[in-house]
Structure 1
Amino acid sequence: MRVRKKPWAEPYIKEHQEYIVLDPQSYLGKWQDRFAKKQPLHVEIGTGKGQFIIQMAKKYPDVNFIGIELQESVIATALRSFLEDPTPNLQFVLTDGGDVNEFFTAHEIEKIYLNFSDPWPKTRHAKRRLTSPGFLKSYQDVLKTDGEIEFKTDNRGLFEYSLGSFNNYGMQFEYVSLDLHKSPEAEDNVETEYEQKFSPQGPIYKLVAKFNS
């Protein structure tokens, strides 16, 4: 879906670079310098308007969070929401999250969140799915040995594809739910904007997996 350009987004981002990184390669191995203190690092790829990552940062102050988003207008909206009540353990990055191994070092991240990623339903576009083998390799490069990937979607086809992709890559499943909001984990679940809007229309699927060491 094409995102409408917001004229205010670019100058707003430039005014608040203490909270948003525009040159992620320059922080290779130095991401903890962006935070008030050194803590476990969790990264959301495709942070959207920021509801999930902002709430996670408030809920878990002992974790440092990074929200990655490619769309300037979208991340500017997330940044604006965050600045209504900022916390010292959240940073945003304006870049393509598919290249995480180019700006994070090996074993730098403890957890990666993939929330409601583009399903790329056509078979010829399968390599663009964020749970395809090429992306899994980049995540494996930067996750700690026992690091996790947490994936949520409302798209049954993408969920089934992802289960197969993770399994074929030799990953270990820690949790799988075919209806997250009716599971015991629902009470502790932090929703994205998309999830909040569309969950009444059908189940939310979730899996948590680790790479075998």
Structure 2
Amino acid sequence: MNSNGQFEQAPQEPGRVVWAVVGSDIGPLLLAATDQGLVNVVFHADEALRDRALRGLAARLGAEPTPARPGETGPLAEPIRQLEAYFAGELRAFELPLDWTLSSGFNRQVLRELEATVPYGTVVGYGDLAERVGQPRAAQAVGAAMGSNPLPVVVPCHRVVESDGGLGGFGGGLETKRKLLALEGVLPQPLF
């Protein structure tokens, strides 16, 4: 109890953060998870990008990420299994606990709406998604929310497109977005 007669909260210990890099049809993906769930997916996870992403996670989560031990992926076992099934065309909906720590406010609201209401094989426009969250004039803000998505693929920001049918932007690059949409049958498979 403090001098004002109120109970003080004990300082919260940073949680465990485990990471692994896994191969996929769109290149290496860095996956990171806490005890609450999958917290981050990073595209094109070569060594330099991986190290930069891990430093950023340490700063934002207050815990030093540790590599998953081979064969002991802990909180990453199910995300890895489901991502492999997704890329094999065997999984249409991820059922994973997600840690939303890296997203907040409007961005989190938009990303949660996207995850809940835009299924495999469909797309939604930026403006349509803005309307769904009650902000019909916030299409650009929806675009910013997609760019801030800490959980791409699992929270399918690749399914958000321009109202005229254009692909729009994508943090993983437009070729990656094309491949993901082709995998889901929205676009034809690339010829090369």
- Same-fold call, TM cutoff 0.5: no
When the two structures are superposed, what TM-score results if normalisation uses the length of structure 1? 0.25
When the two structures are superposed, what TM-score results if normalisation uses the length of structure 2? 0.27
Higher RCO structure (Cα 8 Å, ≥6 apart): 1
Whose Rg is larger? 2
